[in-house]
Amino acid sequence: MEIKLVPTLNNMGWMIAQELDTYTEAFIHYALNAQKPVLEVGAAYGVAAPRILQQGGKVIVNDLDGRHLDTLYAQTPPHLQPNLQLLAGSCIDEIEVEDHSLSAILCGRVFHFFDTETIALCLARFARWLEPNGKIFIVADSIFHGMNEGLLADFLQRKAEGHPNPARVSLTNNPRLAAQANKDDILQAMPEYFNFIDIETMAKLFNTAGFLVEHASYFPAKYYYEVSLWDGREGVGLIGVKV
């Protein structure tokens, strides 16, 4: 079987190894033409970063677990290592970047581990780090992710009732996961709680943080295996422009 995903060392899910989504591709393209540095947040071993480096660009790479970043550095050809800056720590409250010093930030498949309040906090930090007209690229697991299939009706009801975290659910007794032969291994490799992301909620958070939504869509998460798939809208992406 083709290896689509690489496990993280800190049980924070998997990094995509093969097929990229269009938002990550757009970030790479933007990064290669940017005037100021760009940052990949929650990169694991680096998704956009190695591709930017291979094409002659520079990139700052963050992850909660510095072991991922050390591996990225070791795997980077020596002549490209000066173009790679590592920034280990939590993007919520540990790392710091100079105000208005970045042209773009990619945060790929991290926000579905955070509650709404934490996403808002991160977006405010990202906005502060970006130059005016700088861009934020977000990719996450959407409310149409396979593991939310049996739970979408409950989500819609909680959302209608104004629940602050309507899409945040435990995966412990998840119906889709329960049917998997390797469910214990999958559960072990991920945080217990997931917050499946919808465009409407995220667009409001973008606006509050000072971003205009330039583009947003659900898309087929071709980088996942069957357990995560549903109707071709399992992934969600947004591009925001800092106003």
Scanning 36-44, 157-165, 205-213, 224-232 for contacts with ligand SAM by CB under 6 A, the matching segment is: 36-44
Residue 110: CB minimum distance to ligand SAM, A:
4
Residue nearer to ligand SAM on the CB measure, 85 or 156? 85
**Cα–Cα distance measured from residue 213 to residue 234, given in angstroms and rounded to the nearest whole number:** 20
Give φ, ψ of 39 to 5 degrees.
-130, 130
Tokens in use for 50?
């190695």
Which x/- pattern, by CB under 6 A, does the window 39-58 give for ligand SAM?
---xxx--x-----------
User: Can you tell me the distance from the alpha carbon of 14 to that of 145, in angstroms, rounded to the nearest whole number?
Assistant: 15
Q: Give the count of residues interacting with ligand SAM (CB under 6 A).
A: 23
Sign, CA dihedral 223-225-228-230, equals positive
What is the Cα–Cα distance from 85 to 101, expressed in whole angstroms?
A: 14
**What element of type H or E holds 189?**
none
Coil/strand/helix, residue 185: helix
Question: Per CB under 6 A, which region of 59-67, 78-86, 127-135, 156-164 contacts ligand SAM?
Answer: 59-67
Cβ distance to ligand SAM smaller for residue 91 or 143: 91
Site string for ligand SAM, 99-128 (x = CB under 6 A): ---------xxx--x---------------
- Shortest distance, CB of residue 40 to ligand SAM, whole angstroms? 7
Please report, as residue ranges, which positions from 60 to 99 form the binding site for ligand SAM (by CB under 6 A). Answer: 62-65, 68, 90-92
For 93, counting Cβ atoms within 10 Å of its Cβ (0-12 exposed, 13-18 middle, 19+ buried), the class is: exposed
Q: What is the spatial distance between Cα 219 and Cα 143, in angstroms, rounded to a whole number?
A: 12
101, amino acid identity: S
Measured from the CB atom, the residue of 110 and 136 that comes closer to ligand SAM is 110
* Nearest distance, CB of residue 113 and ligand SAM, angstroms: 6
Which parts of this chain interact with ligand SAM (CB under 6 A)? 8, 10, 12-16, 42-44, 47, 62-65, 68, 90-92, 108-110, 113
